Amino acid sequence: MASMSCRVLLVESFYGGSHAAFADGLVSHSTHRIDLMALPAQNWRWRTRTAALEFGAQLPDARQYDAALVTDLIDLADLKAIWSRSSPAILLYVHESQLTYPYPKDRNPDMNTALQDIKNCLVADRVLFNSHVHRNAFLERISAIIAKIPAGRRMEWRSDVGDKSTVVYPGIDIPAATLEAEQSNRPPRILWNHRWEYDKRPGPFFRSLVKLAGEGLAFEVIVLGENPQVKPKEFLHAREALGDRIIRWGYAESRREYEVWVAAADIVISTAIQENFGIAVVEAIGAGCRPLLPRRLSYPEIIPEAFHDRVLYGNEADLLRKLRRLLTLERRSLRLDELSKAMRRFAWDAVIDQYDSEIETTVRSWRYQAP
């Protein structure tokens, strides 16, 4: 628990989904007094460029705050310029970054946004990443970006960001696990609870399900997640191929509805090529789902090592093999209660002290250094 009480302004330029859940959780659990300023979750590319200007005159007098905690979809230099000399200590929370995004082969990386990610970190007084794998990848990419700059290379950018950054896992509201008898009267239920986008790579997920359906294995499918596309082809084809096996299809309009469907599932699968933490996966495991996750990204970090061989897979063929085993030999004993309990380390009541401590320490350091 923090030993001093700070007044904090939380600036969220993309208030929706996991960003909104993070903001609400921090406000409600912190021992500090936190005021929230937010913009709707729309047009993220424009938000990164114009959010500070959109907040504009709505921004309160910074002198009434000890610190501002700002999330990443914003130009932090613009925000600090608006506040000018009245700017409080600034902590930056990095949910995601274009610096580490795996672009398709037919698209060039967005260098401007990547440079802005670096600039935000340099402008902030303290930088918080949501996982070690994200922080490490970010620091590695800084060197690659610097190598592209024709002149005036600043190799200390990496060390500057490294010195002022740390990892604080996002707090999670874990859905309650169902007490339903395990698959006693129904087939196992497989869950997709990710965005319907390229970086979540739905192809291997649906190919595996269609293959096992063709083998005659019994299972049901729950497909949740936001769909930013008009006609996501892989999802449309899968819906036709899986037919009556699908018992839920589409975005859950309320948190309560989402939690009900997550708790009703038995197996959660990720096939992502981009995952800096994995909130949806942690929620599902905490609710009792047996995970099958790629042996990459943040998953080896968030899953205790004792469970790696049972729940992490190496490639698509390995995913298919392990899922087939779960649907046949292990279908009556899918739950891993100890793994579900291990997700409690990401619950808000387990991580909030670290957030409060980071705020307090940053404020103390900033006051000491202030002229």
325: Cβ–Cβ under 8 A, 6 or more apart, which residues? none
Mean pLDDT of 41-46: 87
pLDDT, residue 352, reads 98
What is the pLDDT confidence band of residue 226, given thresholds at 50, 70 and 90? confident
pLDDT in tens, 110-124: 888 889 999 999 999
- Domain boundaries 7-171+348-369, corresponding CATH code: 3.40.50.2000
pLDDT, residue 181, reads 46
Phi and psi (nearest 5°) for 93?
-105, 125
pLDDT, residue 138, reads 96
Judge contact between 165 and 128, C-beta under 8 A. Answer: yes
Could you give the CA distance from residue 31 to residue 46 in angstroms, rounded to a whole number?
33
State yes or no: pLDDT of 12 exceeds 70.
Answer: yes
**Amino acid letter for position 340:** S
Mean pLDDT of 335-353: 96
What is the pLDDT confidence band of residue 172, given thresholds at 50, 70 and 90? very high
Question: CA 246, 247, 249, 253: dihedral to nearest 10 degrees?
Answer: -170
What is the pLDDT confidence band of residue 178, given thresholds at 50, 70 and 90? low
Alpha helices (H) along 43-100: 44-55, 76-83
* Fold match between domain 7-171+348-369 and domain 189-346: yes
Could you give the CA distance from residue 148 to residue 166 in angstroms, rounded to a whole number?
26
Residue 347 DSSP class: B
Mean pLDDT of 38-58: 89
Task: Tell which phi-psi region holds residue 325, choosing left (phi > 0), alpha (psi between -120 and 50) or beta.
Answer: alpha
How far is the first Cα of the chain from the last one, in angstroms, to the nearest whole number?
29
Domain ranges of the chain: 7-171+348-369, 189-346
The burial class, CB within 10 Å (0-12 / 13-18 / 19+), for 155 is exposed
For CA atoms 264, 266, 270, 271, the dihedral sign is negative
Mean pLDDT of 312-327: 98
State yes or no: pLDDT of 2 exceeds 60.
Answer: no
State yes or no: pLDDT of 194 exceeds 70.
Answer: yes
Could you give the CA distance from residue 355 to residue 352 in angstroms, rounded to a whole number?
5
Judge contact between 284 and 297, C-beta under 8 A. Answer: no
State yes or no: pLDDT of 1 exceeds 60.
Answer: no
Mean pLDDT of 235-250: 96
Mean pLDDT of 307-329: 97
Task: Tell which phi-psi region holds residue 175, choosing left (phi > 0), alpha (psi between -120 and 50) or beta.
Answer: beta
Could you give the CA distance from residue 109 to residue 302 in angstroms, rounded to a whole number?
28
Rg of the chain (C-alpha set)? 22
pLDDT in tens, 135-170: 999 999 998 888 888 875 666 899 999 999 999 999
Class of domain 189-346: alpha beta
Strand ranges in 168-289 using DSSP code E only, listed in sequence order:
189-192, 220-223, 246-249, 267-269
Residue-by-residue DSSP string for 114-158: HHHHHHHHHHSSEEEES-HHHHHHHHHHHHHHHTT-SS---THHH
Could you give the CA distance from residue 213 to residue 206 in angstroms, rounded to a whole number?
10
State yes or no: pLDDT of 290 exceeds 60.
Answer: yes
Mean pLDDT of 274-294: 97
**Amino acid letter for position 128:** L
Mean pLDDT of 342-347: 97
